Amino acid sequence: MNNLALFDLDHTLLPIDSDYEWGQFLVRTNAVDPVEFKRRNDEFFAQYQAGTLDPVEYLEFALSTLARFPRTQLDAMHAQFMHEVIKPSIRACARDLLQKHHDAGDLVAIITATNRFVTAPIAKELGVQHLIAAVPEEDAQGNITGKLLGVPTSGPGKVTHTHAWLETIGKPLGAFERSHFYSDSHNDIPLLSVVTHPVATNPNAVLASHATNLGWPLLHLFND
C-alpha cells in the first residue's frame, strides 16, 4: 500500500451527478412537491456548476428532504434509485480504472461532496471500501434528522477530510510514494493541488484550462 488513489464520484466515476439525479428521482416518484423541489434542485445544481454553491445551505436542503421519511422507507427508495438510475449509468471504463488501482495494491477511496446516504450504496456497487462523504446526523433509530455532522466535504473541505481520514489509519498523505486524485471539477482544485498525481478527469472547462496550464494530465472516460 505504497500509493493512494482518491476519486471524486459525480461526473468522474459516474457520467451523471448522483445528488441531482436523486432529487429528480424524488420528483418522478412524487415523494416531494415536484414544482418547488425541482426549482430548488435546479437552482443549486446551476450554482454548483458555476462554483458559487454554498455547500452548507445545499446540504441542509438535501438532508431536510431525507428527514421527512423513516429510514426503512428511505432505504427502499434508494434501492429503487440504484436499480433504475445508478446501475445503468456505471460504465465499464470507470470500473476498469478502479480495478487498475486495486490490482496495484493502492489504497482506494471515493471522496465526494454528496452526502453519505446517497453515495454509500454507490461506493459499494463500485467495489470501493473507503468513502469520504458529507455525514448526515442520525437519531437513535437511524433516522436522518436533517442536520449535517462536521464540515462539508467540498472544495477545501476535501483536503481537511482527506487528512483527517488518513490520520485515522496512521498514514499521512506525505507517507505515500504516489497520491492520485481524479476529479472533473474546478471545485476540487484544492485537493488536486496537494496530491503528487492530479488527474483532470472528464474536466469542465475551468479545470481543463487550469490543468493544461499546470501540465496535469487530462483523462476522458466518457465521450458523451
190-208: string of b/e by CB count within 10 Å (b at 16+)? ebbebbeebbbbbbbeebb
Catalytic residue among 8, 17, 106, 188: 8
Active site residue 10: yes
Residues 64-69: contacts with CB under 8 Å, at least 24 apart? 64/146, 65/23, 65/26, 65/32, 65/37, 66/115, 66/117, 66/136, 66/144, 66/146, 67/143, 67/144, 67/145, 67/146, 68/32, 69/31
Please, which residues bridge with residue 99 across strands?
Answer: none
Q: Which of 10, 19, 106, 184 is catalytic?
A: 10
Q: At a CB cut-off of 8 Å and minimum separation 6, what does 64 contact?
A: 146
Contacts of 90 (CB under 8 A, 6+ apart): 14, 125, 126
Q: Is 184 an active-site residue?
A: no
Give the CA radius of gyration of the chain: 17
Q: 134: which 3 cell numbers?
A: 458529507
The set of catalytic residues is 8, 10
